[in-house]
Amino acid sequence: MIVTKIKKAGICLLPFTFSLALTGCINTKPTSEQSATRSAVAPADEHFISLNTYRAQSEQTIQDLGLSHTDIESPGTEWRSWDNPSLPEFNLWDRLLQSFKLDLEIDNPRIAAQLNWYKRHPHYLERVFTRAERYMFHVVKEVEARNLPGELALLPIVESAYDPFAYSHGRASGMWQFIPSTARYFGIKNDWWYDGRRDVLDSTDAALTYLDRLARRFDGDWMHALAAYNSGGGTVNKAIRKNREAGKPTHYWALRLPAETKAYVPKLIALAKLVKHAEEYGIKLRHIPNEPYFAAVNTEAQIDLAQAAKMADITINELYLLNPGYSQWATSPNGPHRLLVPVENTDTFKENLSKVPPQKRIAWQRYKVESGDSLISIAKRFRTTPALIRDANQIRGNSIRAGSRLLIPIPKANASHYALSSSQRLKRKQSYDRSNTGGNKIVHYVQSGDSFWLLSRKHKVSIRELARWNGMAPNDPLMPGKKLVIWSKADQAVSNDAKNRKIIRRVGYKVRRGDSLARIAGKFNVSVNQIVSWNKIDKRKYLQPGQSLTLYVDVTRSH
């Protein structure tokens, strides 16, 4: 990548030939007008500029300054910014075009079909490009650093519409859509507090590393590599082998692949063609500045996200959108100890952070342990984890005594304030009115033996619908006690039965002398196997007096 320098007055200028990428040419601190543009939900015409217009304006500026292209030398030393308003701001789209490497002149009906779809849905592209504005500079920069095709910066549009909270029926999560097994292979963390598949930095690093490895595996054939990213390397290898054995061509377009994979590469090629020839296709590209949107700040310890947003002087929703990997009300106690904040708010955040010691970045509440309490039940009540309670109170194992006092980490604001936390996103999804489906809304609490397949048959809905209504994938495990919303299309008898199931409550029970699993099961109208499943205990071992059990009891039945 060539970096150039103007010889006159240290001016930073974009040459008409566009043979360079200027990472240091634009002042990294955006103007108030740029900040307002970033927060706009729908782009206005003044925020767009065609690539041809930009080139023409840049050429005119060179002439107006009395310079020529011979005044530009390479390599340069260091770019210095210049605030002349007559020079159009370098657009990230132009920078991206410089790293395009794929063959975009391919003439294929599958590409044409995808291109026609995008042309018919300009508002979809507006929404996607607006959403991508937070993340795209970082992705472009990382693609360049690895010398990969620039078209890969558009791949999150195909994967997730650049939505870091996207979750697919195949259990893929984040804007790069990692499934759990692939995420584990690349060392991406995933626990109650944090899902690195949604993290902008971690997921982008892993995705580009994966794509680079796939390209090497397929000898530099990016069509094969992209297909493998979607359906797996084994699937593509098998298709290549079958074609080779049958004496057929082995290029991507000739392979027999899953339907989704056959459309996958054409979608990316179509998007790249659209960006490259936007004016020809009548598409206006939202102006995205060629400068970082965010910066990473080391917090050194766990911090409440509501407090962090105040420190950075941004909304908590903006903080979640930049840090979608955090699932709860705070960063993970085990790291990563960092937050991404808008560049223009970085200094404010750092200054305010330095004034608050780590132990005061989380709120604490004293709690007196009651009979029947367990670390799990207390953790659920206060929206935290047993491990964090153990660490805070130096507890070994899971035993706690009634009457003892614990220090519990708690959110600084009410639950609804953390609107993009995992629990609040699920709550909104489950509360969504789907009465237009023709079903009746019921609430079902998962019992031992339940499965998506059984529930879908009972309520006459599809497995995929049932999973989607509850923010899950069809092959996600169903844990006893989990709340499900079902828009049932079954008859009234089933609906009435399901309605009764709404009155299931979680009950903490402390084992008494003489108790057995069978005796407790009979007392609460549940099965022995359910108690074993709910508490993960060995039914061959005796219960101990004082032992805490969790039960899910239908309070409408007599006990």
541-551, pLDDT tens digit by residue?
Answer: 888 888 888 88
* pLDDT at residue 336 greater than cutoff 80: yes
Say yes or no: domain 432-501 is CATH 3.10.350.10.
Answer: yes
For 93, other C-beta atoms within 10 Å of its C-beta total 21
| Cα dihedral value 447, 450, 455, 457, nearest 10 | -140
Confidence at residue 102, expressed as pLDDT on a 0 to 100 scale = 96
- Architecture of the CATH domain 363-411: Roll (3.10)
Give the mean pLDDT of 116-138.
94
pLDDT band at 76 (very low <50, low <70, confident <90, very high): very low
Give the mean pLDDT of 99-119.
95
Confidence at residue 504, expressed as pLDDT on a 0 to 100 scale = 67
CATH class of 109-276: mainly alpha
Give the mean pLDDT of 468-478.
87
Give the mean pLDDT of 217-238.
96
Give the torsion sign (CA, 123, 99, 47, 204): positive
Pairing of strands 548-554, 504-510: antiparallel
| C-alpha span between 547 and 484 (Å, rounded) | 29
Give the mean pLDDT of 26-46.
33
Q: What one-letter code names the amino acid at 239?
A: A
The β-bridge partners of 405 are 368
Give the mean pLDDT of 228-237.
96
pLDDT band at 533 (very low <50, low <70, confident <90, very high): confident
Give the mean pLDDT of 271-300.
93
Judge whether 159 counts as a catalytic residue. yes
Rounded (10°) angle between helices 136-145 and 200-217: 40
* pLDDT at residue 72 greater than cutoff 60: no
pLDDT band at 67 (very low <50, low <70, confident <90, very high): very low
Looking at the domain 504-554, which fold is it? Membrane-bound Lytic Murein Transglycosylase D; Chain A (3.10.350)
Nearest Cα to 141, choosing from 208, 77, 197?
Answer: 208
pLDDT band at 311 (very low <50, low <70, confident <90, very high): very high
pLDDT band at 129 (very low <50, low <70, confident <90, very high): very high
Do 109-276 and 504-554 fold alike per CATH?
no
Q: Kindly list the domain boundaries of the chain, sorted by start residue.
A: 5-90, 109-276, 294-360, 363-411, 432-501, 504-554
Confidence at residue 55, expressed as pLDDT on a 0 to 100 scale = 41
Confidence at residue 482, expressed as pLDDT on a 0 to 100 scale = 84
Phi-psi label, residue 2: left if phi above 0, alpha if psi -120 to 50, beta otherwise: beta
End-to-end C-alpha distance for the chain, whole angstroms: 75
Confidence at residue 82, expressed as pLDDT on a 0 to 100 scale = 29
Alpha-carbon Rg for the chain in angstroms: 28
Residue 118 or 43, more confident: 118
Residue 552 or 236, more confident: 236
At 484, give phi and psi (nearest 5°). Answer: -120, 140
Q: Report pLDDT digits (tens) over 489-523.
A: 886 434 444 444 445 667 888 888 888 888 888 88
Confidence at residue 502, expressed as pLDDT on a 0 to 100 scale = 46
Confidence at residue 231, expressed as pLDDT on a 0 to 100 scale = 94
pLDDT band at 128 (very low <50, low <70, confident <90, very high): very high
Residue 552 or 82, more confident: 552
Catalytic residue, chosen from 89, 142, 159, 291, is: 159
| C-alpha span between 201 and 142 (Å, rounded) | 10
Provide the mean pLDDT of the chain: 80
Nearest Cα to 229, choosing from 184, 177, 272?
Answer: 177
pLDDT band at 555 (very low <50, low <70, confident <90, very high): low
